Structure 1
Amino acid sequence: MKQWLLKNNLSSGELSPLLHTRTDVQQYANGAKKLLNAIPLVEGGAKKRPGTKFRGIFAGALRLIPFVPNSDNPFLLILGINTLQVYDPLTQSVVYTGSTPYNTSAKVAQIQVAHSRYRMFFVQGDHPVHRLVCSKDFDNWNFDQFTFVTAPVDEINTTPNVALTPTGVEVGKTISLNAAAFPNWSSTENYIIGERVIYLGQTWRAIADSTGKVPAVDSTDWESVTAGDASVFIPAHVGAIISINGGQVKITSYVSPTGVLGEVIVKLNADVQAIAKSWTLNTAAFTAETGYPSTVTFFKQRLVFANTKNNPNQLWVSAIGNDGDFLEATDDASAFSMASSSAQADNILHLAQRGGVVALTGGSEFLISSAGAFTPASAQIEQHTTYGAQSNIRPCLVGNELLFVQRGGNRLRALSYRYEVDGLVSPELSAIAPHIAEDHGGIKELTYQQTPYSLVWMVLNDGKVASITLNRDQEMNAWAQHDFGGSVRSICALPQAAGNDLCFMLIQRKASVVLEQLDETSFMDCEIVHNGPLENRNLHNSTQYRFNNSDGYFYDDNQPTSGTWFAGQPFNMEVEFLPPDHSQVPNTAMFHKIQAHETVLYVRNSIGGQCNQYDLEHKSFNQSAFQNLTYTGPVSVSMNGWATLHEMELKITHNKPLPFHVQSVAMLVSMNER
């Protein structure tokens, strides 16, 4: 008996080969064996992906970062070794070029940013914090090292065993802080590691806790020190905070081994001498020796840094409304610091906003939040899941979910709040298609293009690209693979007020790095308009020419002699379906013989295409036969021959620089148990 089988849903996208026998799960019915250069749509079916427009050659460019002060004025940051360029997609021009300290490709990949309106902070663990700022009219730009009002201090402070005398107490005053000499060694004193004494005219430092142990060259309790190690203060202490007599003083300049100048930032109770071990010295947390922050974010008007070489699990949170004020106090608006901790690796790799500050570490996912106002007293840090994140791959916010790449680089997870567990959960998005990342060396970069198709784009480590059509409301999690004919280095989406989100890529084409923009009106990659430089056509592996007029869409291997045309690199779309199994588990029809008599594709605004290598014919033999206009409607393809169901092939391809969108496929088949 003949029957029609319908396929109009690809909401599960390309499935892992490990799922090709799982006819019992819904994903099988909604999935495909292969999706290449095709975008599964929420509405059903799949559409040939857009081509790209050529936007310029950017030698040495490595990475794209969005800079969006508002949706009317999106900008694109193009980073290379020691370079930063600001690109305006509306004028298609570079509006600012600056130099950066990031002098290797690895450092460029490690850069993390936090953006708020007209300023963006840059961090990378080997270099001081930098900031990019622009004027409100976007005419003036500046990228420079950021100067803190009060820099973050190390969580470990020292209490020198020497007396210190301040010369003032009032806030804002510059005062002197003068230290006495180190005390002489005493046989009855209990000394702890780090304390220094004078003995026989030399300065000694305790390397072990001891009492009554005489300092000597061969001692295991003491070591002789000179120069900076024998000084109370050293030039590196500039910027450090001294807590003395109930107040705080920020060291502003070095005077001598026993004296510094400082600005009073919290009023002192008195200017009397503070006895030894009654005052503390908090050195700067961000230095060349201790390392600089590796990740950063904004949260509730506070700037948050984390992960230095010496303190990989520490967070520093600024005062409210002041990016440069990290003076820690107990006031609600003051700065504070805290640390993450778990049985797993807890170096903080990424910070993001999601109902608090999400800290993704090498082994766990934490949330820093508070029941009410986010203050030093109310902030709490809690561990929620224990998957671990991959370093150097920035998380991506999609709706109310934070997408991050799991440790190992092959798995993608979506972190979100779940009411029934009253906490964050991280289900895996890549469970149905892990082969895509695994076959291409893992995931390198994420970006989210909200419109027109709600796509998460992923650059893979071999230069190929994957996408997910992600729509939780419609239960859509559809993976697909893409080949842009070159090695993709970076991808970045930019929202804009009107129209679809913009999406740009850096693609290595032969010896050039090309900036290209995805464009719904393009049907080839790296399309160059007719009046563009002729030499740019050498970027293509093969070149075709397309143009359109009132008679429709046309293409040729030879350059047109007039009109507006585009030269580009054509690409092939493939959609290969899984064989349909309409039996109910545990029964199966996979080993029955099947004959497909006819296949009917419903296409929309399309031209051309093939089904199992049979051309899709939709033209009428009338006066419009020489036109090449798009067609919407059913297209029938006659088929014949018997095959075992699990060996049946149904593949749709399209290799011309023309539009193509298939909404559904129906097959008239006969089934035979023999």
Structure 2
Amino acid sequence: MSATPILTTFDAGELSPMMGGRVDFEKYPNGCSLLENFITTVQGPAVRRGGTTFVSEVADSGQRTWLKEFVVSDGTKYMLEFGNGIIRFYTDRGRLVSGGTQVAIASPYTAAYLTDSDGVFALRFAQSADTMYIFHPYYPPTKLLRTSATTFVLQQTNLSAGPLQDQNIDRSKIIQASDRSGAITLTANFDAFTAADVGTIVYLEVEDFSDIRPWAVHQYVSVGDYRRVDKRVYRCNAVGSQPTHAVTGDQTPTHTEGYAWDGDGVDADNDDYGSIGVEWQYINSGYSYAKITAITDARTASAYVTTGDSQDDTIIMPQQIVDQGTWKWRKALFNGIDGWPTNGAFWRNRLVLARGRWIAMSVSADYENFATQEADESTADSAIVQQLNSRRLNEVVWLSPSDNLLVGMNGDEWVIGPIQQSEAVSASNIQAVRRTSYGSRGIVPIEVGGALLFVQASGKKLRDYKYSYSSDNYVSTDTTKLADHITTGASGNGSGILSLAFQQEPFSIVWAARGDGTLLGMTYDQEEGRSDVIGWQRHPMTNGAVECVAVMPSPDGTYDDLWMIVRRVIGGATRRFVEYMRLPLQTGDAQANAFYVDCGLSYSGTAAATISGLSHLEGQEVAVLANGAATPNQTVSGGAITLDAAATVVHVGLPSTCRLRTMQLNVNTPTGTGQGKTKRLTKVTTRLLSSLGGRVGPNFTQMEDLNFRRPADQMDQAPPLFTGDKQSLWLVGYQDEAFICYENSQPLPVTLLAFMPELTVAT
């Protein structure tokens, strides 16, 4: 029986070998059993990916290095290279240079701590305009400040007033201050201090207010007397017409800074009180902070009284803490012993920090202030400190701000938001709810449309996470369920996903670096009722292992550039290169601009036969496209190659091969399925768009070249790009399987629109 099916779309991408028998599945004919260096598109065609351009070797090729985008505005964007104790800067697809030297600054993050135990980037970031906060469990938070177009400063973040641990409850453990302001000594009757406390805050609160009388109406006071209203402590600073003493007025002091009168200070006629009204200076609310500057021993520390902002704060320690000490003390939640914040994010105009199960949110619009109370009360703007009480001791591994704050832990996923949606988030209007229990790897998730994509704890699954109005809950789908092999590799030892980035333009692709260095792509377009595209691809590189991916807008902002750290072996030595991926040739672009080599460079100018500047590829076999024509591969020697003929536009780089193999072709016969029956492919028509080169066949060992040169074409010029159908006659016998394979090893553009085979099934 003869059949002529048509394959019109490849948008399902490379499917799992487990799908090899699912001819009943609707996406089966849209999938491929192998898809390498092709991008699946929402429209259906498979488009050959562009090549990669060499930008620079990293600062230290012997060490693992990472990339992070720093996009300030549409016209101001940088790519940051985090290496061993250094941060280097790139912009406009090249190195950021000042005075002839690449801009770089020293950093505290050494290579040993840049990568965690899973092989994932250990730093986390939260950006606000020109400021980027950086978090690591072993380092105090820092912030990178952009001070000009070419100058950057990295400094330690000075968190004030916390966040704080729970209050000590052991009444026998006392900490005492030596003075009420300025530089002081803290003395404890137990081993309270370690070197890790230097630079952190200690909160000290009076045990009670027995030493201060409450303020009352018409009470005799003198200058220097102390009174309290609730927990607010005031000092009499001035009296009215009486020179040394007066009577309090009837206006209860409520101020929490500076001075205020409780009456008019006038001696009224016909009363027995004298002048009524006193000026009160606000002192404190029964507590203060001390910032530790040095440790003498386990029981003695040097500090200064402060809110944490600076040493010049005019803050006064309660006298009781000086006289007798207090057991009501709290140490910093984040420190060198328990650990520093591992994650951060901006949400609802607050800086959110996380470590372990703790979530701390700054004072609203005051990002480094973590005071949970203003004077003696918590306000709607006060900082919030909350613990996520999961069933296991899970730890926060990522934060993702949206309308709600999405929190990924290594065992479950949480949603934090206001209880009353119409009111601002505050300590009394916030709730944390565990929604799912998949668990996450410590990779920052990416937002695509209304979905959040995160890597599951094993690194093998990429899940989308989004709100479902029908169930009024967050739901998650495994995007690798039809391609479960894609993150593990053929041997199953791929170590899963180690790096993740999203390229929104032009193809909506999620890029991932697999543990074995394979670059993965997933075309993702999920619009309810309109689009349902999830298509995985693999992008192996000649002599290259991709270790990190990051995305930033192109210089003109019209699309996104994928940047990578690629580990290559050149001349027997391991070298790590910063590279970015070029777009496939776009409609209207000159054929000579087609760039399909990896780790490549381009020459454009007067006709030249010798192309130099290739020392980074010394000794490597390279592919060449000269004036739009593929020429024989050459070997770089002395950092250069010599062409057979001079050319004005030349692209040189490592060769790359794109390959596609369909799923087993399926046709129905009068007696049922064609699966399991011998079949013979006699002819295949390949429909192409703006393409050149390549071969087709029933497998990758029996292939026929597609011929694009016409008799009228000039032999000394490249044949023009072809759009249309190419027919291939296959002289093969009956076989148990029927595939269509395409392969192209030349640096030329390819867009596969459809395959139209003619096959005969033995009945």
Residue pair 1:233, 1:258 contacting (<8 A) in 2 also: no
Residues 76-85 or 433-442, more deviating:
433-442
1:313-324 mapped onto 2 (5 Å cutoff)? 313-324=357-368
- Counterpart of 1:70 (choices 69, 73, 78) is 73
Q: Alpha carbons of 1:123 and 1:532: their partners in 2 closer, same or farther (altered >3 Å)?
A: farther
In structure 2, the residue matched to 1:220 is: none
Residue pair 1:177, 1:262 contacting (<8 A) in 2 also: no
- Counterpart of 2:667 (choices 582, 592, 600) is 582
- Counterpart of 2:560 (choices 501, 504, 514) is 501
Counterparts of 1:446 and 1:585, CA distance in 2? 48
Q: CA deviation at 1:355?
A: 2.8
Q: Alpha carbons of 1:615 and 1:148: their partners in 2 closer, same or farther (altered >3 Å)?
A: same
Residue pair 2:185, 2:300 contacting (<8 A) in 1 also: no
Residue pair 2:546, 2:564 contacting (<8 A) in 1 also: yes
In structure 2, the residue matched to 1:222 is: none
Q: CA deviation at 1:275?
A: 9.7
Counterparts of 1:404 and 1:589, CA distance in 2? 40
Residues 509-518 or 493-502, more deviating:
493-502
- Counterpart of 1:380 (choices 431, 447, 458) is 431
What residue identity is the alignment partner of 1:446?
L
Q: CA deviation at 1:10?
A: 1.3
Q: Whose Rg is larger? A: 2
Q: CA deviation at 1:387?
A: 0.4
Counterparts of 1:293 and 1:584, CA distance in 2? 64
1:241-640 mapped onto 2 (5 Å cutoff)? 241-244=203-206, 246=231, 247=285, 248-252=287-291, 257=300, 261-263=304-306, 271=319, 280-307=328-355, 312-329=356-373, 330-370=378-418, 371=421, 372-391=423-442, 393-439=443-489, 440-473=494-527, 474-485=531-542, 486-496=544-554, 498-510=557-569, 511-520=574-583, 521-530=594-603, 532-538=612-618, 540=620, 542-548=621-627, 552-558=628-634, 559-560=642-643, 562=646, 563-583=648-668, 587-612=672-697, 613-624=703-714, 627=717, 628-640=719-731
Counterparts of 1:258 and 1:97, CA distance in 2? 37
Q: CA deviation at 1:625?
A: 5.8
Counterparts of 1:588 and 1:251, CA distance in 2? 79
Q: CA deviation at 1:416?
A: 1.0
Q: CA deviation at 1:424?
A: 1.2
- Counterpart of 1:89 (choices 92, 98, 103) is 92
Q: Alpha carbons of 1:32 and 1:129: their partners in 2 closer, same or farther (altered >3 Å)?
A: same
What residue identity is the alignment partner of 1:348?
V
What residue identity is the alignment partner of 2:580?
Q
Q: Which runs of 5+ in 2 are unaligned?
A: 116-120, 210-230, 232-284, 308-312, 584-593, 604-610, 635-641, 698-702
Deviations 1:332-365 (A, max 9, x none): 1111110112224421111111332211111100
In structure 1, the residue matched to 2:18 is: 18
Deviations 1:603-629 (A, max 9, x none): 011111111111112332224465421
Equivalent position SS for 1:33: strand
Q: CA deviation at 1:111?
A: 1.1
Counterparts of 1:235 and 1:579, CA distance in 2? 65
1:183-222 mapped onto 2 (5 Å cutoff)? none
What residue identity is the alignment partner of 2:525?
N
Counterparts of 2:47 and 2:454, CA distance in 1? 27
Equivalent position SS for 1:5: coil
Q: CA deviation at 1:146?
A: 1.4
Q: Alpha carbons of 1:532 and 1:360: their partners in 2 closer, same or farther (altered >3 Å)?
A: farther
In structure 2, the residue matched to 1:112 is: 124
Q: Is residue 102 of structure 1 aligned with residue 64 of structure 2? A: no
What residue identity is the alignment partner of 2:475?
V
Q: Alpha carbons of 1:274 and 1:557: their partners in 2 closer, same or farther (altered >3 Å)?
A: closer
Same amino acid, percent of matched pairs = 20
Counterparts of 2:95 and 2:24, CA distance in 1? 51
Length, aligned pairs only: 612
What residue identity is the alignment partner of 2:633?
D
Counterparts of 2:194 and 2:318, CA distance in 1? 22
Residue pair 2:630, 2:746 contacting (<8 A) in 1 also: no
What residue identity is the alignment partner of 1:340?
L
What residue identity is the alignment partner of 1:155?
D
Equivalent position SS for 2:390: coil
Residues 244-253 or 415-424, more deviating:
244-253
Counterparts of 1:22 and 1:606, CA distance in 2? 32
Q: Alpha carbons of 1:233 and 1:588: their partners in 2 closer, same or farther (altered >3 Å)?
A: closer
Counterparts of 1:111 and 1:258, CA distance in 2? 31
Counterparts of 1:575 and 1:341, CA distance in 2? 49
Q: Is residue 134 of structure 1 aligned with residue 146 of structure 2? A: yes
Deviations 1:123-171 (A, max 9, x none): 1111111111103x42321112212233321234356445968976xxx
Residue pair 2:509, 2:523 contacting (<8 A) in 1 also: yes
In structure 2, the residue matched to 1:50 is: 50
Q: CA deviation at 1:114?
A: 1.2
Counterparts of 1:147 and 1:268, CA distance in 2? 20
Deviations 1:568-616 (A, max 9, x none): 1111111001122234999522023323232111101111111111111
Counterparts of 2:467 and 2:328, CA distance in 1? 42
Q: CA deviation at 1:261?
A: 4.6
What residue identity is the alignment partner of 1:243?
E
Residue pair 1:165, 1:271 contacting (<8 A) in 2 also: no
Q: Alpha carbons of 1:232 and 1:472: their partners in 2 closer, same or farther (altered >3 Å)?
A: closer
Counterparts of 1:338 and 1:63, CA distance in 2? 32
In structure 1, the residue matched to 2:201 is: 239
What residue identity is the alignment partner of 1:516?
E
TM-score, normalised by the number of residues in structure 1: 0.84
Residue pair 2:175, 2:329 contacting (<8 A) in 1 also: no
Counterparts of 2:350 and 2:150, CA distance in 1? 27
Counterparts of 2:195 and 2:72, CA distance in 1? 44
Counterparts of 2:392 and 2:195, CA distance in 1? 38
Counterparts of 2:670 and 2:74, CA distance in 1? 51
Q: Which runs of 5+ in 1 are unaligned?
A: 183-195, 197-224
What residue identity is the alignment partner of 1:131?
K
Provide the alpha-carbon RMSD of the alignment.
3.1
Counterparts of 1:428 and 1:459, CA distance in 2? 18
Counterparts of 1:592 and 1:28, CA distance in 2? 18
Counterparts of 2:175 and 2:502, CA distance in 1? 58
Counterparts of 1:51 and 1:233, CA distance in 2? 51
Counterparts of 2:129 and 2:82, CA distance in 1? 20
In structure 1, the residue matched to 2:224 is: none
Q: Alpha carbons of 1:232 and 1:140: their partners in 2 closer, same or farther (altered >3 Å)?
A: closer
In structure 2, the residue matched to 1:33 is: 33
In structure 1, the residue matched to 2:235 is: none
Deviations 1:451-509 (A, max 9, x none): 11111111010111111011113211000111122111211111245322011111112
Residue pair 2:11, 2:46 contacting (<8 A) in 1 also: no
Deviations 1:621-666 (A, max 9, x none): 224465421111111111244434x511310111101111111111
Residue pair 1:595, 1:670 contacting (<8 A) in 2 also: yes
Residue pair 1:159, 1:281 contacting (<8 A) in 2 also: no
TM-score, normalised by the number of residues in structure 2: 0.75
Counterparts of 1:279 and 1:595, CA distance in 2? 87
